Amino acid sequence: MDSRPIGVFDSGLGGLTVVRRLLEELPNENIVYFGDTGRVPYGTRSPDTIKRYTAEDCRFLRRHDVKMIIAACGTASSVGAQVLKAQSVPAIGVVDATAKAAALATRSGRIGVIGTAATVQTDAFGIAIRALNPDAQVFSQACPLFVSLVENGWIAEDDEVTIATAKRYLSPLMDAQIDTLIMGCTHFPLLAPILQTILGNAVTLIDSGSAAAGAAKELLASRDMLAERENGSCRFFVSDTPQGFANVAKMFLGREVAADVELIDPALLSE
Ligand code: DGL
């Protein structure tokens, strides 16, 4: 048993899709979340910058004596995979568990991946899927505008701007006749109802946040590192605009979190 917190980070609030799953699956766990809201988005940046941010985010979480780290960010998971491997505590991203879920779900072997530009450029999901199923065909599409739409809370099912943007991004994947779509960015599950309506029910959506939370549970259980307490707590740290984070976090988690959101000194990231 290990009552130290689980550390979770993302470039902003997309990683809350992982927190939501963790709260459902592991209610005893304490969670320390870091949202790098001062530097979001990561997905439009160079690989070197994303790796540096990944290392700094992990260092910040380790200051809180976390027992494991979850990179709840498709971009940090894809581009910063080596940085995660080098951590002194177990650190996982969203790629492997999500690829596994997609490989299990597909019937035709035609899998779509949507993510940030940086994620799509690495082909990390495609590589992981083909390692599991060499015959799979993976079709990737960068959807950078989705990140801003989610960060601004434009996620209502009837939001005309978001629907029009999604139709444009998904059109090549529909032409490719995918039967499974990986939402390879942790912001995107918030758009799932819109994506599902456009794609139709024959396409299975795979939520990278959900897959990563499941993988974290397995990892902690296999090492006898689950917490024993009855009610875990959540602390949220951000590098800018705590109130904006709290407002959207409330939509994600279905409860008020403003009192638990703390603004960090950005110097803590580079020290
Ligand atoms: N949450 C990030 C991801 O999963 C996307 C947002 C960003 O570009 O920083 O890739």
Mutate to test the pocket of ligand 1, among 10, 46, 77, 183 (most ligand atoms within 8 A of CB): 10
Distance CA(202)–CA(190), nearest Å, equals 19
Whether ligand 1 lies within 6 angstroms of the CB of 11 is answered as yes
**172: preceding bond cis by omega (within 30 degrees):** no
Nearest-angstrom CA–CA distance, 70 and 97:
12
Q: In this predicted structure, what is the pLDDT of residue 258? A: 84
Q: Does 234 qualify as catalytic in the annotation?
A: no
> Which atom of ligand 1 is least distant from the CA of 115?
10
Q: Is the CB of 93 under 6 A from ligand 1?
A: no
pLDDT value of residue 232: 87
Tokens of 256: 């008020």
Residue pair 125/78 in contact (Cβ under 8 Å)? The answer is yes
* DSSP E strand boundaries for 208-271: 234-238, 261-263
> What is the pLDDT, as a whole number, of residue 107?
97
Predicted confidence at residue 114, as pLDDT, reads: 98
Ligand 1 lined by 40 (C-beta under 6 Å)? yes
Q: What is the structure's pLDDT at 253?
A: 85
Ligand 1 test: best mutation among 8, 9, 11, 210, most atoms within 8 Å of CB? 11
The predicted structure's pLDDT at residue 179: 98
Yes or no: say if 191 and 166 are a contact pair by the CB < 8 Å rule.
yes
Q: Let me know if 143 is a catalytic residue.
A: no
Q: What is the pTM of this model?
A: 0.94
DSSP 80: T
Q: Give the three-state DSSP class for 43.
A: coil
Q: What per-residue confidence (pLDDT) applies to 152?
A: 83
What was the pLDDT predicted at 252? 79
Closest listed residue to residue 121, CA positions, set 54, 188, 43: 43
Q: Flag residues of the chain having pLDDT under 50.
A: none
Q: What is the pLDDT of residue 251?
A: 76
